[in-house]
């Protein structure tokens, strides 16, 4: 089946720094990738939809200058959390879409100290 | 405003018995529904889906039922196995073609041996 990877799986950073999370579709080309955020014991919240070669579409309430998304190729999308703060600590999950469906990455645990 | 709701945060079932997980939605424009299984610190894994033109879809031990008039869907797992213990999310697709998924809050299923 289709595989989506994320890197890193876990990252700890200091407040004020920026963190980049990569999402790759390993065996298929994904024209559309999605970024989700999951708070403890909460639902997966869609943050943005990323299409290759175009600007990401952000959901209401998600700051596009805070969460920079780049979809540079059909197999790679990156999420950069800029000037991270402790409240940005969360579990970030990407998904990639191909014709047969949408496949999720394993997630990245971000902790901002 | 939670458009997709899973009102039971947890459920315990004896091994071999049936597990029934419920999901309610508010937006009648949803046309595609999915169930995902998620282990801690991992991304969701697709289980089964159903289109709004159907009222039942079955795949092995998993059956999803859709009641459009009640805006309700359920996932039946029978027989339940200890390996089924995980958090189950239902998701709804808002409009055909956008592939944006709105997730419920999840139900933690524990299958007791």
Under 8 Å between Cβ of B4 and B22: no
In angstroms, the CA A52 to CA A49 distance is 10
Strand partners, A77: A23
**Going by C-beta distance under 8 Å and a sequence separation of 6 or more, which residues neighbour residue B8?**
B21, B22, B107
| Model pLDDT, residue B1 | 66
Name every chain B residue with its beta carbon within 8 A of the beta carbon of A7: none
For residues A95, A98, A100, A104, the Cα torsion angle rounded to the nearest 10 degrees is -10
pLDDT one-digit tens code per residue, A58-85 = 999 999 999 999 988 899 999 999 999 9
Give the number of beta-carbon pairs within 8 Å between A and B.
Answer: 52
Higher local confidence (pLDDT), A1 or A22: A22
pLDDT one-digit tens code per residue, A81-105 = 999 999 999 999 999 988 778 889 9
Name every chain A residue with its beta carbon within 8 A of the beta carbon of B43: 4, 6, 93, 95, 104-107
| Model pLDDT, residue B98 | 64
| Model pLDDT, residue B82 | 96
| Residues of chain B scoring pLDDT < 70 | 1, 95-98
Name the residue among B109, B106, B98 with its Cα closest to residue B32.
Answer: B98
Give the CA distances from residue A56 to residues A34, B9, B104, in Å, rounded to whole numbers and listed in that order: 9, 33, 23
Average pLDDT, chain A: 91
- E strand or H helix that includes residue A109: strand A108-112
Name the residue among A56, A52, A47 with its Cα closest to residue A93.
Answer: A47
Cα R_g (chain B), whole angstroms: 13
| Model pLDDT, residue B97 | 59
Higher local confidence (pLDDT), B99 or A29: A29
| Model pLDDT, residue A31 | 82
Q: How far is A16 from chain B (nearest CA, A)?
A: 25
Q: Is B40 near chain A, with CB under 8 Å?
A: no
Residue A12 corresponds to which tokens in the numbers above? 């700890």
Is residue A40 pLDDT above 80, yes or no?
A: no
Give the CA distances from residue B1 to residues A112, B5, B26, B68, B102, in Å, rounded to whole numbers and listed in that order: 28, 10, 10, 20, 11
């Amino acid at each position: 089946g289709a595989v989506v990877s994320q890197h890193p799986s876990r990252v700890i950073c200091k407040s004020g720094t920026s963190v980049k999370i990569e999402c790759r579709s390993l065996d298929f080309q994904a024209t559309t990738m999605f970024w989700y955020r999951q708070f403890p014991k909460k639902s997966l919240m869609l943050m943005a939809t990323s299409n290759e070669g175009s600007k990401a579409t952000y959901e209401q309430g998600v700051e596009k200058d805070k969460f920079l998304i780049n979809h540079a190729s059909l197999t790679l999308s990156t999420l950069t959390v800029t000037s991270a703060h402790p409240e940005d600590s969360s579990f970030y999950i990407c998904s990639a879409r191909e014709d047969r469906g949408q496949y999720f990455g394993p997630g990245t645990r971000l902790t901002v100290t | 405003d939670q458009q997709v709701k899973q009102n039971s945060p947890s459920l315990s079932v004896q091994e071999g018995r049936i597990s029934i997980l419920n999901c309610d939605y508010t937006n009648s424009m949803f046309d595609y529904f999915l169930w995902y299984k998620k282990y801690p610190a991992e991304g969701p894994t697709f289980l089964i889906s159903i289109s709004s033109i159907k009222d039942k879809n079955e795949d092995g031990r998993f059956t999803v039922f859709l009641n459009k008039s009640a805006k309700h869907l359920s996932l039946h797992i029978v027989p339940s196995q200890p390996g089924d213990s995980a958090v189950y999310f239902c998701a709804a697709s808002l409009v055909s073609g956008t592939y944006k998924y709105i997730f419920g809050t999840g139900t933690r299923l524990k299958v007791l041996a």
